[in-house]
Structure 1
Amino acid sequence: MKNGMKKTAAVVMAAMLIGTGAVVPAAEDMGIFSQTAIVAEAASVGKVTGLKSKTLSNSEIQLNWSKVKGASGYTVYMRKNGKYNKLGDCKGTSYTVKKLPNATRENFKVRAYKTVKGKKVYGEYSANWNTATNPQACKGLKVSSVGTDSVKLSWTKIGCTNYRIYQNIKGEWKEIGKTTGTSYTVKKLAPATKYQFKIRACKQDDKKTNNNHYGKYSGVVTATTKKSDKITQADIDAMKAELTAYSREKAEYIKKHYTEFWKYGTDFNTLEEFFELKEGSVTPETASYDAVYTVPYTQSSLSDTIEVYKSELDYLYNKYGNTYYVVYIQDCPSGNNVNPNPCWAVYFLY
């Protein structure tokens, strides 16, 4: 009667443990009293918690978890074809999975076990952990085309979720965009300017998270945007400043006689003050000028255009020794007979 009660108790405990996920050795492998002892031990095997990972490379993932009190070891599982298959056992709380394909998502579970009478008695599985290996390093990055304000990059396709594009901005690499394709156009760049770019591939753990794994950076490519045919106000301002400075150096007469000139109702004490007054008040509408010199311009001939105007200044100072202010620049005025347009007009004022 007593043996019958013990057997019944053992069966009941075994049924309870099976309901919790614990694995109990078959009854035919041992006597009922040994099975009862194993069932009791199995009841104390805790569930693995805190399962996390660290992606070591494009083929290795290191799993880590919290220690289970009293556990003899742990068994690691990876899902394949919808089923969790055993990878191996370990004594500690870390396990490195090797020889994985690059840029692939993997799912893992771990459970603890106790060894009783030479048999493994398992606790519950841990929660599923999803992670991924790193992609390969990107290869084949090149500059496909260059515009005045854009650079198109392209590269070789590899396995990944997306590609991240980086630009060297003031000595620091900054991410400027991403794409799932194998090309990307960087826009809003300055003309005639050198830029550096590189890329790397990214693999996400799953579509709902932002836990990213990156491959190594590609090599760096350099591109110089084309010169623009469009003349900006900044171009005009720079040209005016350069020619104004040049004309000041040529104005020998004014350097000697500026204190004798009409002061526009305002006192000035230095030659610099005199020039500033002139530059702030004299225009073609308020002063006399002998001629309007016009030269067609394009970005490619900007420096040549400035040299042409400098030669005109030299001519003017040789012709009019008492000229004291000579430069005023604007777009060619309406009605001015200039062919072809567009052009800059430079007025030599007196």
Structure 2
Amino acid sequence: MKNGMKKTAAVIMAAMLMGTGAVVPAAEDMGIFSQTAIVAEAASVGKVTGLKSKTLSNSEIQLSWSKVSGASGYTVYMRKNGKYNKLGDCKGTSYTVKKLPNATRENFKVRAYKIVKGKKVYGEYSSNWNTATNPQACKGLKVSSVGTDSVKLSWTKIGCTNYRIYQNIKGEWKEIGKTTGTSYTVKKLASATKYQFKIRACKQDDKKTSNNHYGKYSGVVTATTKKSDKITQSDIDAMKKELQEYSNSKANFIRENYTEFDGYGTEYNTAEELFEIMQHELTPDNASYNDIYCIDFDEKDIAISTKAFKEDLDYLYNRHRKSYFVIYVEICPNGIDIHRNPCWAIYLLH
């Protein structure tokens, strides 16, 4: 009767334990007292918690978890074809899964076990953990086309979620975009300017999380945007500055060698002095000029226009060496309708 009660108790405990997911050795392998002892031990095997991972490379993932009190070891499982298959056992609380395909998502579970009477008795499975391997390094990055304000990059396709594009900005690499394709056009660049780019592939754990795994960076490519055939305001400002400085250098020579009088016996050496003498009645806008020269912009090469102006300035200064004058330069002002295209007007101011 007692044995029957013990057997019944063992069966009940076994049924309860199986309801928790624990594994109980077959009854025919041992006596009823051994069964009872094993069932009692199995009931105390805790569930693995804290499962997490660290992606080591494009083929290795290291799993880790919290220690289960009293556990003899742990068994690691990976899902394949809808089922969790055993990968291996370990005594500690970490396990490295190797030889995985690059840029692939994998699902894992772990459960603890105790050795009782030479048999493994398992606790419950941990919760599922989803992670991924890194993509491989991107290859074949090249500059496929260059414009005045854009650079198109292209590369070889590899397994990943998307590709991240980086640009060297003032010595620091910054992510500027991403794409799922194998090309990307960087826009809003300055003309005639050198740029550096590189890329790397990204793999996400799953579509609902932001956990990213990156491959190694590609090599760096360099591209120089084409020179713009349009004259911008910055081009005009730079040209005006250069020409005015050139004009000033010429005027310095004349100022050092010649002196001008305003007609009242008052000597002056600069336009500013003259304006002060005239009590602000004379300015470059309302002064009289003895000559006006205009020249067209070369819309394909502003340097040609600059060179032509310098030659013209040389001629004008040489022609007027016997008297002091000031060069005043501006973009075709109102009232000067000599050229329809953008041009510069050079005023010889006395």
TM-score by length of 2: 0.91
Tell me: CA distance 1:347–1:297, structure 2 relative to 1, closer, same or farther (3 Å): farther
Structure 1 residues 288 and 319, CA, compared in 2 at 3 Å: closer, same or farther?
same
Cα separation, 1, equivalents of 2:151 and 2:238:
27
1:137 aligns with 2:131: no
Per the TM alignment, residue 338 of structure 1 is displaced from its structure 2 partner at its CA by 3.5
Distance 2:9 2:231 in 1: 95
- Alignment of 1:57 onto 2:57: yes
Q: Residue 84 of structure 2 aligns with which residue?
A: 84
Give the residue type in structure 2 aligned to 1:246: Y
Secondary structure at the counterpart of residue 74 of structure 1: strand
Task: Tell me: CA distance 1:78–1:224, structure 2 relative to 1, closer, same or farther (3 Å).
Answer: same
CA displacement, residues 11-35 of structure 1 (integer Å, 9 cap, x when unaligned): 1110110011111011111111101
Counterpart position of 1:324: 325
- Percent identity, please: 74
Structure 2 CA distance for partners of 1:285 and 1:25, relative to 1, 3 Å: same
Three-state SS of the structure 1 residue aligned to 2:295 is strand
Q: How does 1:13-92 map to 2 (within 5 A)?
A: 13-92=13-92
Per the normalisation by structure 1, the TM-score is 0.91
RMSD of aligned alpha carbons: 2.5
User: Contact 2:294 / 2:343 at 8 angstroms: preserved in 1?
Assistant: no
CA distances 1:166-224 after superposition (whole Å, capped 9, x unpaired): 00001110000000000000001000000000000000000011100000000100000
Q: Contact 1:297 / 1:343 at 8 angstroms: preserved in 2?
A: no
Residue of structure 2 equivalent to 1:314? 314
Unmatched segments (≥5 aa) in structure 2: none
Distance 1:307 1:72, change over 3 A: same
- CA drift of 1:142 comes to 0.5
Q: Which residue of 2 aligns with 1:292?
A: 293
SS at match of 2:131: strand
Please give the alpha-carbon distance, in whole angstroms, between the structure 1 residues aligned to 2:28 and 2:262: 123
> Structure 1 counterpart of 2:61, which letter?
I
Q: CA deviation at 1:305?
A: 1.6
Deviation of 1:54 (Å): 0.5
Kept after mapping to 2: 8 A contact 1:258/1:274: no
Question: Within 5 A, what are the aligned runs for 1:130-209?
Answer: 130-209=130-209
Does the CA-based 8 Å contact 2:259-2:324 persist in structure 1?
no
User: 1:74–1:91: 8 Å Cα contact kept in structure 2?
Assistant: yes
Take 1:248 and 1:276, find their aligned partners in 2: how far apart are those partners?
17
2:8 alignment partner in structure 1: 8
TM-superposed CA distance for 1:329, in Å, is 2.1
Taking the aligned partners of 1:262 and 1:173, their CA distance within structure 2 comes to: 65
* Partner SS, residue 327 of structure 1: strand
In structure 1, the residue corresponding to 2:13 is in which secondary structure? Answer: helix
Q: What displacement does 1:337 show?
A: 3.8
Letter in 2 for 1:325: V
Change (3 A) 1:258 1:37: farther
Q: Matched residue pairs, number?
A: 342
Supply the AA of the counterpart residue of 1:43: A
1:132 maps to a residue whose letter is A
- In structure 2, how many angstroms separate the alpha carbons of the residues matched to 1:262 and 1:8? 132
Residue 244 of structure 1 deviates from its aligned partner by 1.3
Query: Offset of 1:273 from its aligned partner?
Result: 5.7
Contact 2:331/2:342, CA 8 A, preserved across alignment: no
